[in-house]
């Protein structure tokens, strides 16, 4: 019990430092396509989210191409570069399946929603998930040293 008490005291003492560090850290982009299109009527919201999902697909394809380009320029043994590209291709396929399952789950949480409710939720999920994945690929490959 004493160890738990000491841990709690240490955590309370460190809280101001941790809070300052958190404020100084880069802001993590937040994705909320549904919120960005909430200002519109239901039909216009559907159109807005359809456009956002399509734009996010383009952004994701560009990030995948950039990741391959960064791997190709990587100053590393060709065997490791080929392995990295192979793993990337596998992750692209796995991501597509993950996105489908994730967005199907989000769609089911609408329950008996009427109108475009199901499609709106699905499109928002696709847009957000694609954009998050694109950012992930950019961060994963940004430090690969070119020759």
For every one of its 147 residues, what pLDDT tens digit does the chain have, with 9 covering 90 and above?
A: 454 444 444 434 444 444 444 444 454 455 688 788 888 887 788 999 999 999 999 999 999 999 999 999 999 999 999 999 999 999 999 999 999 999 999 999 988 877 788 899 999 999 999 999 999 999 999 998 665
CATH no. for 32-141: 1.20.1270.180
Q: What is the pLDDT of residue 7?
A: 40
Sign of the alpha-carbon dihedral angle for 131, 113, 100, 98: positive
- Contact between 46 and 120 under an 8 Å Cβ cutoff? The reply is yes
Which residues, other chains included, contact 81 with Cβ-Cβ below 8 Å and sequence gap of 6+? Answer: 71, 72, 74
Q: Read off the pLDDT of residues 62-79 as tens digits, 9 standing for 90 and up.
A: 999 999 999 999 999 999
Count H helices and E strands in the chain, helices first: 5, 0
Q: Smallest Cα–Cα separation from 36: which of 136, 113, 127, 110? A: 127
- Tell me the CB-side half-sphere exposure of residue 40, using CA atoms within 13 A: 15
Q: What is the pLDDT of residue 15?
A: 44
Sequence spans of domains, the chain: 32-141
Amino acid 110: pLDDT: 87
C-alpha dist (Å) from residue 137 to 84, 103, 142: 12, 20, 8
pLDDT reported for residue 39: 84
Among 84, 61, 65, 64, CA closest to 74: 84
Per-residue pLDDT at 117: 84
- Kindly report the pTM of this predicted structure: 0.76
């Amino acid at each position: 019990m004493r160890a738990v008490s000491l841990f709690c005291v240490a955590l309370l003492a460190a809280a101001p430092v941790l809070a300052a560090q958190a404020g100084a850290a880069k802001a993590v982009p937040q994705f909320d396509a549904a919120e960005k299109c909430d200002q519109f009527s239901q039909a216009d919201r559907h159109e807005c989210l359809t456009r956002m999902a399509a734009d996010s697909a383009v952004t994701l394809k560009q990030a995948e191409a950039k990741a391959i380009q960064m791997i190709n320029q990587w100053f590393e043994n060709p065997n490791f570069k080929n392995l990295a590209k192979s793993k990337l291709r596998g992750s692209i396929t796995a991501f597509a399946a993950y996105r489908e399952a994730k967005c199907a789950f989000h769609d089911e949480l609408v329950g008996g929603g009427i109108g475009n409710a199901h499609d709106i939720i699905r499109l928002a999920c696709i847009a957000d998930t694609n954009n998050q994945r694109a950012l992930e690929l950019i961060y994963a490959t940004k430090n690969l040293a070119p020759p």
